Amino acid sequence: MNKGKITEAVIELLAKHPYLWALGLCLFIDPFFLGAAENIPNNALWLETFMTVGAITAFGYYKHRYEGISTKRVVIFIALLILADIIAVRLYTQSQSKAMWHFAGGCSVIVILYYLADIKKYRTQLNALLIMGLGFCLKLYYVLVTSVYTRQHDVRSFGGDSGHAGYIEYLLFEHKLPDFDIRERWQFCHPPLHHAISALWIYVNENIMQVGHNQARESLQTLTLFYSVCIIISAYKIFRYFGLNGKALYIPLMIVSFHPAFILFSGSINNDTLSAALVMGAVVCTLKWYREQSLKNIMKIALCVGFAMMTKLSAATVAPPIALVFLIVFIKKFKEEWKRLLGQFVCFGIVCVPLGLWFGVRNYIKWKVPLMYVQKMDKSELQYIGNMPFLKRITDFSLHQYASPYEQWAYLDESRAVQNYNEHNPLITIMKNSLFGEFINENCFHSGSYVNTVSNIFFWLNVIIAGTAFVSMIVICFKKGAAKLTEKMFLVSFYIMMMASFYKTSADYPFTCTMNFRYITPTVIIGAAYIGLALKAINKETIGGRYAAKSLYGEAILFSFSSGIIYLSLC
């Protein structure tokens, strides 16, 4: 079998079931680290070495058998590679940063496989796999150096009775849903899908795989790593759906693959990551249904939306844009296919509505908990910003807010310096915490570190890219031929729904923490898609077109490198 056929077979296998392959990869590597660098077992190194030697030997045999390389050259080649592996093992055992070694090793494997493949024939697919693979290695590194207590949102602690950790352990130990008013415990108001899966994961690890108590909880990050990878796969599917190719594909894919929002998601054990993954799955399935209105496709949408709302009720923001697509198709095909389409919509409702709302309905019947209940915070919190009128908050762009690229909080704890104000402008806030979250600031790096300089560049680069995405969205919406009108309306309406919900929440709950980018992460993918569509529509023959393409390509590469530098510097 020649190189071209092997590459083709691998690409076809990956293309058929990419989400299952991603799950298989995460399950395969999980025993090697169990969610943290300190959990890497002693025998993992020897198993990895054995696999490496086996791979080197198989590669040598391939070169000898199919490419006619002499036995002597093959033996020398194998011996040199094995020697290099032994030296690397020696250095690894003496290293204080095993996570960095895994990152470098993963990147090396991906690059080697890339150059062994038939690059010319499958350049687009292989370049995309390279970008997503390197992004995966960065996410894995972040998981290895990040505890389930590090940079988490509303998790609290295992062994407690509140927060996402308490919710997971309640399901793990009690084997039932909360039998009390869910308003009594912090974060128990969320639908239980993510927490139930997490509880099952811990149970299987502890009772079947005989994994230790703490290691089983740390390995929850394997699940969120998988969910984060699913988001990137969905983004790729959307880009390819719109026919993006070359730089028009690579630029948005780099932005998404290396975007810190999804790096942070990979280590975050609350329900945000699974919710976003299912929402993006619903977007992919809706686009597919728009091209082929089959019962199978609409059932996929129903399952994605239903399970997303069973994870987090705010996932319902994707429902109105999907309904808009349903309505447009129904009106267009009313005369010929109204019965068939109406039947599909009924089936959609039968599956989606109970999945998404059963938990809220249950709580309303038992304890009169409002369906859209949100747990409120005390106005005495230092991060309360309700004293400033909302109109002033959204129109205040005073220069002092740009003095630091990191989100500002007016309180003191063990890890931060005292800040003199709370972030209050939603737009400026998400420009900051989309890159660094709430918990990364100048104190996370060495004093005078170059990383803080990189962070400043990263912030302004993010502003430029976000502005480009917004302008591209407006231009493409009025440009004919870039995409079908319904497809554009679907993505734009989803973007508007998310931003409207975000600003409404910021107004209704005036706290700095409510202005977090994790609530609207799909906007990254929509914005990146419109950048790709704009590049696709640009006339590359003109000087302006060539300059725009090269400029955006450079910005995407710099964005990726900046993200890598900052997140590899976190320990």
Is residue 570 helix, strand or coil?
A: coil
Whole-number Å distance between alpha carbons of 568 and 563: 8
- Helix, strand or coil, per DSSP, at residue 511: strand
Lowest mean pLDDT among 85-94, 121-130, 136-145, 163-172: 85-94
Instruction: Calculate mean pLDDT across residues 14-34.
Output: 90
Position 346 scores a pLDDT of 96
Q: pLDDT of 221-268, one tens digit each?
A: 999 999 999 999 999 999 999 999 999 999 999 999 999 999 999 999
Name residues whose C-beta falls within 8 Å of residue 383's C-beta, 6 or more positions apart in sequence.
409, 410, 411, 422, 511, 512, 513
Phi, psi for residue 413 in degrees, rounded to 5: -140, -170
* Cβ–Cβ < 8 Å for 430, 517: yes
Q: State how far the Cα of 162 lies from the Cα of 156, in Å rounded to an integer.
A: 7
pLDDT band at 328; cut points 50, 70, 90: very high
CA distance linking residue 126 with residue 105, whole number of Å: 19
pLDDT at 181: 92
Residue 325 has which token pair? 């697509």
- Answer whether residue 414 shows pLDDT above 60: no
pLDDT in tens, 171-219: 999 999 999 999 999 999 999 999 999 999 999 999 998 888 889 999 9
* DSSP helix/strand/coil, 251: helix
**418 pLDDT higher than 60:** no
Q: Is the pLDDT confidence value at 482 over 90?
A: no
Classify burial at 448, counting beta carbons within 10 Å of its beta carbon; exposed 0-12, middle 13-18, buried 19 or more. exposed
Please give the pLDDT value at position 68.
60
Query: How large a percentage of the chain has pLDDT more than 70?
Result: 89
Tell me: the pLDDT tens digits for 360-395? 999 999 999 998 888 888 888 888 999 999 999 999
Residue 364 buriedness (CB in 10 A; 0-12 / 13-18 / 19+): middle
Question: 417 φ, ψ to 5°?
Answer: -80, 165
State the pTM of this model.
0.92
Mean pLDDT for 38-65 is 65
Highest mean pLDDT among 138-147, 154-163, 273-282, 365-374: 273-282
Residue 39 has pLDDT above 90, yes or no: no
Share of the chain above pLDDT 90, in %: 65
Q: What is the pLDDT of residue 81?
A: 72
In the structure, what pLDDT confidence band is assigned to residue 8 with cuts at 50, 70 and 90? confident
pLDDT of residue 38: 78
Angstrom distance (rounded) from CA 301 to CA 288: 10
Residue 13's pLDDT is 82
pLDDT of residue 65: 61
pLDDT band of residue 327 (cuts 50, 70, 90) is: very high
* Cβ 409 vs Cβ 383: under 8 Å: yes
More confident residue, 73 or 171: 171
**Burial class of residue 13 (count of CB atoms within 10 Å of its CB; 0-12, 13-18, 19+):** exposed
- Buried-state track 210-243, b at ≥16 Cβ within 10 A, e below 16: ebeebbbbbbbbbbbbbbbbbbbbbbbbbbbbbe
416, pLDDT greater than 60: no
Residue 427: per-residue pLDDT: 96
Q: How confident is the model at residue 298 (pLDDT cuts 50, 70, 90)?
A: very high
Estimate to the nearest angstrom the gap between the alpha carbon of 249 and the chain centroid.
Answer: 18
What is d(CA 465, CA 473) in angstroms, rounded to the nearest whole number? 12
What does DSSP assign to residue 497?
Answer: H
DSSP label of 509: S
Q: What is the 3-state secondary structure (H, E, C) of 89-141?
A: HHHHHHCCCHHHHHHHHHHHHHHHHHHHCCCCCCHHHHHHHHHHHHHHHHHHH
**Average model confidence (pLDDT) for the chain?**
88
Contacts 24+ apart (CB under 8 A), 481-487: 481/537, 482/533, 482/534, 482/536, 482/537, 483/242, 483/533, 486/290, 486/325, 486/328, 486/329, 487/242, 487/287, 487/290
Q: Please list, in sequence order, all residues whose beta carbon lies within 8 angstroms of the beta carbon of residue 144, skipping any fewer than 6 positions away.
A: 33, 36, 37, 98, 99, 102, 103
